[in-house]
A = this chain, B = another copy of it.
Amino acid sequence: MLRVRTHTPRIDDLRWAKPAHQARSQRTLELLLDAAEAEIREKGYADASVAEIARRAGCSVGTVYRRFRDKTALLHALDERWGAAFRATMEDAVAPERWQGAPILEVLTGYIAFTLNEGHERAALQRAAITMASRDASFAERQMKLASELHAGLRALLTARIDEIGHADPPLAIEFALEQLRAMLMLRLATLPLEATLFGNSDEQFIDQALTSIAAYLKLEPLSA
């Protein structure tokens, strides 16, 4: 009689990590992901070595390959863990309830603060992820999906406040304003601390001018007219 297996090879192929059958191996898997994150944060994807990741996790190279098919699978698993964490924070950040009664400028201030926070904390990781995206299409796809989910959430928040917008074509203006903000945020995060003078040294001045600019473009009008 056939034994029913929890993980068939066909299904295993769809997971980055090989199945873990003992509590100990699950623990090792998480130690490895933590170690890989630290290693990549310091050296970037290209210079992260499996041996060093194993050393940081306190296990051997052989163990890494017991948990992951190859180095790429480990990187994918790590990237997905980041994605899940980011998605959770993001969904909370753009929840309509959170912004009940807030005008557009307040929503956008929140968006900017959220992004600068995430970015300052994860600058090295993000740079690494972008590098990986340029080499492997599935990294790029995962990142694009996250970006467009965030985008969709923001679009919904702004569309619900469409009567604040004086621009002749509000839907177009919303799209472009969001892209414009994204561009400014990416440049600011990418170049810090390298070119901290660009956009001014302080986040306050940056936020102030960015909002001024977006308000002028959207032709925002106070609700209580």
Q: Interface residues, chain A, CB within 8 Å of chain B?
A: 44, 46, 127, 131, 134-135, 140, 144, 147, 172, 176-177, 179-180, 182-184, 186-188, 194-195, 198-199, 209-210, 212-213, 216-217, 219
Contacts and interface: CB of A to CB of B under 8 A. Distances in A.
A194 B144 contact: yes
Contact of A213 (B46, B144, B213): B213
Given A176-B209, A213-B213, A134 B44 contact: yes
Contacts of A134: 44, 127
A17 B209 CA distance: 45
A44 B217 contact: no
Contacts of A186: 183, 186-187
Contacts of A212: 217
A199 B173 CA distance: 11
Nearest to A197: B148
A187 B183 contact: yes
Contacts of A140: 194
Nearest to A188: B183
Contact of A183 (B147, B177, B184, B217): B184
Contacts of A147: 195
Given A140-B194, A216-B219, A180 B176 contact: no
A182 B195 CA distance: 13
A195 B144 contact: yes
Among A147, A198, A212, A219, residue most surrounded by chain B Cβ atoms (within 10 Å): A198
